[in-house]
Structure 1
């Protein structure tokens, strides 16, 4: 009897277990079925969009074309795809999101300039948006509604106060003096030409922003800030590795920041009460400026941060946004300007015939006893063309900066560009289209001169699209163009810049294709010779350089802050200081 009950219980347990397994199996089958159906519908939607959008390779479900991206320089790959499909723009899928790549100057003009109002926004960006500065920074700010549009207009207005077209002429004396110091530095340490160019570019924006120059290329404001800018540029390139793979799998951004795929991005969390590095530099700069005598203040332009803080009061901008506006000056001026000038040195080494023509014009118009000035520009057509070719030949922001995004569905030649799509200008392809630029890899300033057989129509008067388009054009464009002109003209006037020679006296070739892989590209390190053209010119460089240093003394100063230690100190401070929320509750932030 007992054994019968036991047997019955065993049978019941097994039956229940079997039922549970069947139910679990049904649940799993149901979940799997729903997932498969959802994936099929999602892929069908991708293929439907693809049929209406510009041509491009067929995407895979979920991952799109991400894993077909090349390891290096994807802008060349997109240029090749444009030629393959014989179209000025192509569609390439990063995960489930289509990216439209514009590879043609006229197409870029039609979309970004003539339709600037609807292409002024940014798309959803995981790495540099949601995990980065997002809506607190002018560069990454989206414009999806009227409130966001008004905020963006305020930021743009405040940035224009610092480096807008109307402001930059007031910085000519700074750029003129600092470029004279470059020439003096080239005399002293020609092998360190890259560091001298980085010091120059950083010092100019530091004077404009903070009223304080950078006197040495070993100053941490150079070594650390430029390293940060280059890291950001290296990360911000479409790719099939982390962190940019987060754009393909955005769900991974929801995981804790300790996960390995966040390496290199820093903390995603903004601690309450935490200061920001550039904001702290701004506070320090305002304090130092206020301590100067009235005569010293009269001898220098008011630091941008002082004007910025005064203007920002009426808009009640938070610390994070003020820090972003200040830091953007470095992004718009330091790394990009120095990279442009390094490319100029490379061009001089690789194409010595252009340097010879520049010397002939400078000798005829300027002579050996003084260096060029902007007032000489009308009489220096070849130098003007030389500078334009520097900006075209190896443009720094090779994919035109951050992507644009239409705020409504748009069409181009019958192709759909859906609202919210990533739309990127391929500056490499635009500046290497042989329709506008025959023999595009040749550095050839004559292509900008009237009567030359290489001069071709271009959609804008400048003859290049180096600084982006429309309402998201680089804020520092006027400053960069002005500084590039005076630096290139002065260095061409002062020096023979040519290939280095080995111990046997043989020229060391340079590679005009050896560039970094980041968003802001620059030449890989290369040796060169930089020699003053004559004793008269050498003496003029010394005289002008030393006079410039005297004129710049009013900007001498030093910051007590270092980026490498700033955030560690802030974490420790925040960890031990109380945070009071809106309800008056007191807590301590765990770091």
Structure 2
């Protein structure tokens, strides 16, 4: 009996060892990928910086669909327009889930962040609410908001040109706070706006690589006491600060709605839905807060990249300004009515999104809800699925000389950004920065208008040239130096921004002065009467 027990114990231990050593290995029927090591798989090869470059290199080596084995988890990387169309779009019912993200969703977000929320009724309800705010009909009605914030951005660039990044960020943030909460951000020094940008940068960087990834890929590490795990402690601290910010915004909007003093905005509708569907204040705060987060960061980062492109490609700037002169002239600024006739400006917007994608690896991975086969390979249930935006946007077969900023690529592309994303032919899609499938960014319609107005009006009013160092030598930024995290932008750089003429400078100042007198309270710089209803329809 003792012999049988010993043999059974030995067999059990052997089986456990074998199973343990099988962790990290790539099954033969999975998509190909870099060689693995037992237990850790490819974790040792995951870069701590500029992950998009390594993901692009692997795409060249292993093809448009490859796999990474990350401890106990599998990640499948899609690096072609065809694969994204076939899986994330055409099979969106299977590929709209999210992988478990313990640090990002549990600790950093209290399971409340819509961006990382699993696919299901709760996510669909949140998405439905957001769609009401950001659909194409609603987006058209927000143009008055965009025009006013654009006028302030140009004025701020006129009087403080060295702070152009701050002015771009305030522009996108103020538009978003107006749409979501009914109030605008009149200055970059606004403490809550600073907290938003800084907090999201910390969140994005924490969740890309390092210890956060290890804890996600090896669940047993979650049992480490918080006193010994700086990552878990830091994640909880981030959530505490972020939740306080979002809750403060939501409770203020809720109180103003109850008092009848709120300006038309998303929170009016959120308040009605909260009472009807028993949504908690925590949930409401994160739905509205993550809308603010998404709308503030990506638009500003793309406009910042556009400014960098103008420094590096002055001929593009000249050509764009020539088109504006021909279509608009010097007496007035471009408006949305000019968009159909400013195809080169539209092309500059599309090329900015392609050349410097802010969601460089698709922001957050999708996940597949059941085993699926694609081109002979098994994509296993619960695998993370990455939309490798950088590699697709930089694919030389789609875009020859991809690191060259060349708006001419889009001169015959008259699709809107949303139409291009929905095109059944994946090769006809302009760029992949806004994601794919049911998880595509719902703000795509608003973003397109904000970017068009930003690009067209900056180029109407100003010349963008390199700044000079102390020796008078031009400072040329490196376009490949990017901030880190799953949402990124160019590293900060200086630029010389000057009015194209005295008459244009006076026009910029006059337009902002008139907008303030007509629309804003002189004491608070908030809207006196907004031209938009709570569901996005323009008022008569």
TM-score with structure 1 setting the length: 0.81
> Which of 60, 63, 71 pairs up with 2:48?
71
Residue 265 of structure 1 is matched in structure 2 by: 235
Residue 531 of structure 2 is matched in structure 1 by: none
Q: Give the superposition deviation at 1:279.
A: 2.8
- In structure 2, how many angstroms separate the alpha carbons of the residues matched to 1:555 and 1:482? 27
Does 2:329 correspond to 1:361? Answer: no
- In structure 2, how many angstroms separate the alpha carbons of the residues matched to 1:112 and 1:550? 48
Distance 1:200 1:327, change over 3 A: same
Q: Give the superposition deviation at 1:463.
A: 0.5
Residue 414 of structure 1 is matched in structure 2 by: 376
Tell me, yes or no, if the aligned pair for 1:279 and 1:326 is still in contact at 8 Å.
Answer: no
Residue 36 of structure 2 is matched in structure 1 by: 59
Distance 1:474 1:551, change over 3 A: farther
* Structure-to-structure mapping, 1:19-34, within 5 angstroms: 34=12
* Structure-to-structure mapping, 1:329-408, within 5 angstroms: 329-408=291-370
After superposition, what is the alpha-carbon deviation per residue over 1:456-487, rounded to whole angstroms, capped at 9, x for unaligned? Answer: 99726550111101111112222212211111
Tell me, yes or no, if the aligned pair for 1:348 and 1:497 is still in contact at 8 Å.
Answer: yes
Tell me, yes or no, if the aligned pair for 1:275 and 1:319 is still in contact at 8 Å.
Answer: no
* Structure-to-structure mapping, 1:423-502, within 5 angstroms: 423-450=385-412, 459=426, 461-502=428-469
Tell me, what secondary structure is at the counterpart of 2:142?
helix
Q: Give the superposition deviation at 1:59.
A: 2.2
Residue 249 of structure 1 is matched in structure 2 by: 218
Residue 10 of structure 1 is matched in structure 2 by: none
Distance 1:551 1:471, change over 3 A: farther
Residue 58 of structure 2 is matched in structure 1 by: 81
Q: Give the superposition deviation at 1:31.
A: 7.9
- In structure 1, how many angstroms separate the alpha carbons of the residues matched to 2:159 and 2:305? 21
> Which of 279, 282, 288 pairs up with 2:250?
282
TM-score with structure 2 setting the length: 0.89
Q: Give the superposition deviation at 1:244.
A: 2.4
Tell me, yes or no, if the aligned pair for 1:134 and 1:141 is still in contact at 8 Å.
Answer: no
Distance 1:555 1:67, change over 3 A: farther
After superposition, what is the alpha-carbon deviation per residue over 1:520-570, rounded to whole angstroms, capped at 9, x for unaligned? Answer: 1111111110001111211111111222333441597599xxxxxxxxxxx
Residue 495 of structure 2 is matched in structure 1 by: 528
How many residue pairs end up in the alignment?
514
Does 2:520 correspond to 1:547? Answer: no
RMSD: 2.8
- In structure 2, how many angstroms separate the alpha carbons of the residues matched to 1:276 and 1:62? 39
Residue 40 of structure 1 is matched in structure 2 by: 18
- In structure 2, how many angstroms separate the alpha carbons of the residues matched to 1:346 and 1:178? 21
* Structure-to-structure mapping, 1:225-236, within 5 angstroms: 225-236=196-207
Find the structure with the greater CA-based Rg.
Answer: 1
- In structure 1, how many angstroms separate the alpha carbons of the residues matched to 2:168 and 2:213? 30
Residue 105 of structure 2 is matched in structure 1 by: 129
Q: Give the superposition deviation at 1:70.
A: 1.9
Structure 1 residue runs without a partner (length 5+) = 1-21, 144-148, 560-591
- In structure 2, how many angstroms separate the alpha carbons of the residues matched to 1:221 and 1:35? 56
Tell me, yes or no, if the aligned pair for 1:382 and 1:445 is still in contact at 8 Å.
Answer: yes
